[in-house]
Structure 1
Amino acid sequence: MSVLVLSILTLAMTFGTVPASAAGKEAKIGFAFSMTGGAAAYGATQKNGAQLAIDEINAAAGQDGLKITAVFDDDASVPQQGVNVFNKFINADKVSLIIGPTLSNTAQVTDRIAQQAGIPVLAISNTAKGITEIGDFIFRDSLTEAVVIPNTIRVAKDKLGIKKVAVFYGNDDAFTKGGYDAFKTALADAGIEVLTEQTFAKGDRDFSPQLTQIKGKDPDAIIVSALVEEASGIVSQARQLGIPTSVPILGGNGFNSPALIKNAGEAAEDVMMGASWNATSPLPLNKKFVEAFTAKYGSAPDQFAAQAYAGVYIAYEAIKQAGTPEDRKAVRDALTKIKDFDCVLGKFSFTEGRDADHTPVVQVVKGGKFMVFGS
């Protein structure tokens, strides 16, 4: 039996029947992903994860069930382009719900438009502080840096015995600044000394001046809040400057992309990062997802693909339970009732503040793969 058939059977058992009011209707969802620009490494895999879920759902729905009509567009990793995409989704495409955008920086602008228009948004990779506070139509299935990072610091302190660190972060992006804030709080709570703080800007390529300063402080570890493009350069140049692997580099959600391993090569070995998902999770739904994704695209999924895949299923469940896909308020209300929902992320619920609630993990690069730390 093929992986796709198994996935369809699993879907049918998981979701049961579609309410009569939703049967035969179309659920139009807008997907705003960074297919170009600085976050393209995330956006491409998000689209693949979302498309796989859409294909499975529509195949299982049959002729009379609720099906998804997807409208994909490129936010180009730029807030203004994200605004254009959201306005198109809302005014021209008349979507029931929007999934995206890829970057928190863009979401800080676009989500305000959706909130004002009363369109539910499900963020699948926005982890910066303040996203869901924009309004009651904004949700996310991505664990915030404020959840993922403290867990990473606790594990690093307990397992590696780190006592003093250097912090290196991007000071011109909502995500990287939010990660810095979360790291700073977590380090203070853990009683870990910060020897130096260094900054960079998006698009920087030469990190040697800051890394030289860091090397001179002799830290036990280097804490980095960065998107994958800059993270790859930082990791590579740190090792080139002679900072040994005995000084681990710890990152947040921005590190959870195969692009880090591809770009940094051997330098990525032993790099640690907080995450919301790992491919080796033994959950049956996750195993089927990894197999189906790998068969369809020829490579294993990453966290961003998993969150996109889960996001489509979460959105579909809410639209289905709302009964009328065109009633955006009903879809929003149905999202608030998602609790202990079985998906590739585990048992998933939304908090009262519409943030993701499930268990984080700590990953480490071993042999060119993301593994659960300590496994």
Structure 2
Amino acid sequence: MTHKLIPALAFASALVLAASGCGSSSSGGSDAELKGEGSGDSCTITAEIPVSAAFSLTGAAANYGATQKNGLELAAKKLNENDGVKYKVTVEDDQTDPKQGIQLFQQFASGDASVIVGPTLSNTAKQTDPVAQDSQIPVLGVSNTAGGITEIGDYVFRDSLTEEAVIPQTVTQAKEKLDLKKVVVMYSNDDAFTESGYTAFAEALKADGVKVDQTLKFSKSDTDFHALLNKAKQSKPDAIVVSALVEAAIPLVTQARELGIDVPIIGGNGFNSPALISDAGDASEGVIVGAAWNSASKNEQNQAFLKDYKAEYDSAPDQFAAQAYAGLQVIDAAVREGCSGEREDIKTNLNKVKDLSTVLGDFSIDENRDAKHEALVQIVKDGKFDILK
């Protein structure tokens, strides 16, 4: 799916070019410090590799950004226990605001960062990633699932599965499990991430022969869904399909149950947060959502990650923490492949990441610089995300 960049992106790109010089590919430290000897486990680099991240620590996506910060910093701590390569991670708050995100990316690009991680939301990434592309600094999105992100340019990568990769599997399994014939679709139409989720749902439902009786739109900032849910109830659907951020998902799910709507609710990637379960409580039981990660995975690295995260933060990680953790694992593989922390070398070697063992399972970056690994479908059961069987 091709997305046209809005005019503001060109303006943002012009600003960063004026500030840092067109096509600048310099990075912190001397070439000698960031280039090492050996390869893989034997790679030794003198300088710490500077990694700068922009996450939503405040604002509408703060529930996601907080665990992303934890995951990335934990990955740095664990990777820094290995010989040869050390990472210096800096995390800044994009405030869930694309304008703030652009400023951070300009700051990172003109500074010593070797690679950028983030931002949290696809909506922000569509405006920040052109800054990285024009500045020739690689950026790895760890939660950007909307279509068109990597089409921005060849310096843009992600370890997060797209909605197009996860949602069709979710719909197919839900149809088989629930015998779906007719649904109501609800989505926030003012966010790139949720709009992309809606498009993927609409296409997958059509492909699986499930009728969409109504499509109801709302704003990502809405918290009162009674009127829309009453409309949905009139259709007597087999399920309600929703693409929304968790801040909207929580009241939507809660109010649906208060109104006596007891049909299953199928959510997009925005539902993948423990906040849905903790804040919606019993109302979240039975919610179905596709995912890139589940804590029940027996993957050896994942089990170690769960233990380390609990010890470090006294809480359980979510998908966003896992993807951020995996992000630095992917960057580490690229750095060690060429034994270099320079921007251009990291960009080149990210393209070579294949069948890497991570907390997400065996992971590869495909020819479009997108993530490639196994997806799964979850259901909230007994107050936790479980595998839909």
- TM-score, normalised to structure 1's length? 0.92
Deviation of the 1:252 alpha carbon: 1.2
Displacement of 1:16 after TM fit? 5.6
SS in 2 for 1:17: helix
Give the 3-state SS of the residue equivalent to 2:147 in structure 1.
coil
Is 1:253 matched up with 2:272? Answer: no
Residue type of the alignment partner of 1:236: T
- Structure 2: gaps (5+ residues): 1-38
Contact between 2:40 and 2:337, CA under 8 Å: does it hold in 1?
Answer: no
Q: Partner of 1:191 in structure 2?
A: 209
2:19 corresponds in structure 1 to: none
Q: Deviations over 1:297-338 (max 9, x none)?
A: 111111000000000110111122232212x11111100000
Letter in 2 for 1:366: K
Query: Partner residue of 2:155?
Result: 137
Q: For the residues of structure 2 that align with 1:18 and 1:41, how far apart are their CA atoms?
A: 38
Post-superposition Cα deviations, 1:247-303, rounded to whole Å, max 9, x if no partner, equal 100011100001111221110011010100100101111111111111111111110
* Partner residue of 1:346 out of 361, 365, 389: 361
Counterpart-to-counterpart distance in 2, 1:17 and 1:234: 48
CA deviations 1:152-207 (Å, max 9, x no partner) are: 00001112111110000000000000000000000000000000000110211111
3-state SS of 1:59 partner: coil
Measured in 2, the distance between the counterparts of 1:337 and 1:187 equals 35
**In the alignment, is the contact (CA less than 8 A) between 1:318 and 1:335 conserved in 2?**
yes
Confirm or deny that 1:370 pairs with 2:385.
Answer: yes
CA distance in 1, matches of 2:384, 2:220: 26
Deviation at 1:24, TM superposition (A): 2.2
SS at 1:50's partner residue?
helix
For 1:55, which of 74, 77, 93 is the aligned residue?
77
**Equivalent position SS for 1:363:** strand
**2:40 touches 2:339 (CA, 8 Å); kept in 1?**
no
Q: Find the counterpart in structure 1 of residue 291 from structure 2.
A: 275
2-structure distance, mates of 1:109, 1:137: 14
Asked if 2 retains the 8 angstrom alpha-carbon contact of 1:164 and 1:192, the reply is yes
* Alignment match, 1:79: 98
The whole-number CA distance in structure 2 between the counterparts of 1:44 and 1:109 is: 21
- Corresponding residue number in structure 1 for 2:302: 286
Q: Which residue of 2 aligns with 1:9?
A: none
| SS of equivalent to 1:88 | helix
Residue identity opposite 2:118 in structure 1: G
Aligned residues: 351
Contact 1:18 1:66 survives alignment (8 Å): no
Q: Secondary structure at the match of 1:35?
A: coil
List gaps (5 residues or longer) in structure 1.
Answer: 1-14
User: What secondary structure does 1:149 align onto?
Assistant: helix
Give % identity. 52
Q: 1:5 — aligned with what? A: none
In structure 2, what is the Cα distance between the partners aligned to 1:173 and 1:361?
24
| Structure 2 counterpart of 1:70 | 89
Tell me the TM-score normalised to structure 2 length. 0.89
Residue identity opposite 2:62 in structure 1: A
> Of 5, 13, 17, which residue of structure 1 is paired with 2:41?
17
State the shift of 1:217 in Å: 0.3
1:295 aligns with 2:311: yes
2: distance between equivalents of 1:110 and 1:73? 14
Q: Which runs of 4+ in 1 moved over 3 A?
A: none
Distance 2:273 2:264 in 1: 18
What are the equivalent positions in structure 2 for 1:107-146 lying under 5 Å apart?
Answer: 107-146=125-164
Amino acid in the other structure paired with 1:106 = T
CA distance in 2: counterparts of 1:354 and 1:107, whole angstroms: 15
1:102 corresponds to which of 120, 142, 148 = 120
Q: SS where residue 80 of structure 2 aligns?
A: helix
Check conservation: 1:236, 1:264, Cα contact below 8 A. yes
Q: Provide the secondary structure at the position in 2 that maps to 1:352.
A: coil
Distance 1:263 1:139 in 2: 33
Query: Superposition RMSD on alpha carbons, in Å?
Result: 1.0
CA separation in 2, counterparts of 1:158 and 1:321? Answer: 43
Partner of 2:335: 319
Amino acid at match of 1:257: S
User: Which of 204, 209, 216 is matched with 2:227 structurally?
Assistant: 209
